[in-house]
Amino acid sequence: MRLKTFSADTMNEAMMLVKEHFGEDAIIVSTQAGEDGQGVRITAAIDQVEDEYDFDDDSLHGAYGDPVEIIADALLNNGVPPQISDELISAVEELSMEDPVLALAGALDRYFSFAPMPMGTAEKPILLVGMPGAGKTVTIAKLATRIVMQKQPVRVITTDTVRAGGFAQLEAFTKILKLKLISAGIPGELRTAVSEASGRGHILIDCPGGNPFDDDDIDRQARLIKAVDADVILVMAGGVDPMEAAEIAGIYRELGARRLLLTRIDMTRRFGSYLSAAALTGLQMTDVGVGPSVADGLRPMNPVTLARLLLPKSVVENFDDQQQTARGAYG
């Protein structure tokens, strides 16, 4: 089994590349927008690849064991809720693929939505919401760093004027990037700040963390979100209880969140909460945060990468996709 990702300006051009390299027997694993929303990326696989001596390597056949059993065990180990697990396993059985990584990736691509961060056109501000300690401030710093490295203008706004040290933490990052941090603690100030920054590049907004089960906290966050027309992204740390993660995601979905960004995946070994939050709310899975350092940046999430996170290292190491092989995909 061989896997490769093809990038092009249009879907037709990408499909032509797939056929040119893999022929008519290629299996399309996933399709998604290109980096920064530009172009198209297609991940394709071919079931049998002849080597340079023109013979099939029969020794690889059956190397994985029963993919359905492997995937079922992995989903159970990750704490994936039974309803979601059953749907994924049914899809795996229907796909009938020998490689567990490709089989699970195909099932994930069918039941989840993946989307890159909306950073291609800067048409709307990006506003991060979530619970305290989820990693919103560091994520804002990572996004700002990416934009600055691309030599594009960016404005950073914080509404976190209550938490002790909240402004100072983000200001330390923006100073390194030679950016002025804008403070807007109430909806009116936020509306004015966004209006003044409009047309001057990307706008990143760091919302204060709040208790999603506290009416006053939710009302405060809701008023800030409604103050501006923004792409609202829920930031969630890994390792949360799956059902609680889904409940929290549902609350923020009602407040306007449309994408889900997972942080601390380097410190997480079970991703059931991630799948639960996305499946039960329809939130799109977007970039993920690997480590606490701004230098670690953000990495894209797609069906193959998610499958690699869910499956055990012994299975992933047998998977030849010309990428990193350690479990965790970004390890």
The reply to whether 39 and 80 lie within a common domain is no
The model's pTM:
0.78
The reply to whether 251 and 134 lie within a common domain is yes
Domain that holds residue 80: 64-111
The reply to whether 85 and 203 lie within a common domain is no
Please count the structural domains in the chain.
3
CA 308 → CA 67, 259, 324, 329, distances in Å?
Answer: 14, 21, 10, 6
The reply to whether 167 and 50 lie within a common domain is no
The reply to whether 203 and 153 lie within a common domain is yes
pLDDT confidence of residue 120: 66
pLDDT confidence of residue 59: 37
The reply to whether 19 and 145 lie within a common domain is no
Residue 194, amino acid? V
The reply to whether 72 and 193 lie within a common domain is no
pLDDT confidence of residue 89: 94
pLDDT confidence of residue 144: 93
The beta strands (E) that lie in the chain are given as 2-8, 27-33, 40-46, 126-129, 154-158, 181-183, 202-206, 231-237, 259-263, 284-289, 298-299
CA 102-106-109 angle, to 5 degrees, is 135
Q: Please check whether residue 316 lies inside any domain of the structure.
A: no
Q: Please check whether residue 279 lies inside any domain of the structure.
A: yes
- Give me the CATH number covering residue 273: 3.40.50.300
The reply to whether 87 and 181 lie within a common domain is no
* Residues of the chain predicted below pLDDT 70: 1-3, 29-30, 34-37, 47-64, 120-121, 162-166, 319-331
Q: Pick from 39, 45, 46, 43: which is nearest to 11 by CA? A: 39
The reply to whether 56 and 68 lie within a common domain is no
The reply to whether 149 and 223 lie within a common domain is yes
The reply to whether 147 and 262 lie within a common domain is yes
Q: Please check whether residue 21 lies inside any domain of the structure.
A: yes
* Tens of pLDDT, residues 5-16: 778 888 778 888
pLDDT confidence of residue 51: 41
